[in-house]
Amino acid sequence: MPLVEIHLLEGRTKEQKKALLEAVTRAVQESIQAPLETIRVWIQEMPLDEFMTAGVLASEKYRKDTK
C-alpha cells in the first residue's frame, strides 16, 4: 500500500489541494502500477507561524515579499 505524505504551507485553496492529491495519486498508480484502491495520499498543512527557514518565520517572509 503506497503512502504519500505531502507537507505544504497553509494558503492553498481546496481546489488546488484536490488537484495535487489527484495528480500524485495518478503518478503513483502509473509509475509503480499500484492498484488505485491501495494508494493513500494526504496533505499536512503547516501554519505560516510554525515553519521557519534560515531563521525566518514563513509568515514574516511572505509579509516581506508582498510589500
Per residue in 16-63, pLDDT tens? Answer: 999 999 999 999 999 999 999 999 999 999 999 999 999 999 999 887
pTM: 0.84
Cell numbers of 43, please? 496533505
DSSP for 4-31 reads EEEEEES---HHHHHHHHHHHHHHHHHH
Return d(Cα 25, Cα 20) in angstroms, integer: 8
Residue 66 pLDDT > 90, yes or no? no
Task: Give pLDDT tens digits for 1-16.
Answer: 999 999 999 999 999 9
Specify the pLDDT at position 64.
66
Residue 2 annotated to the active site: yes
Determine what percent of the chain is predicted with pLDDT higher than 70.
Answer: 94
* Among candidate residues 64, 47, 39, the one with its CA nearest the CA of residue 7: 47
Pick the catalytic residue from 2, 12, 21, 59: 2
Cell numbers of 58, please? 514563513
CATH superfamily of 3-65: Macrophage Migration Inhibitory Factor (3.30.429.10)
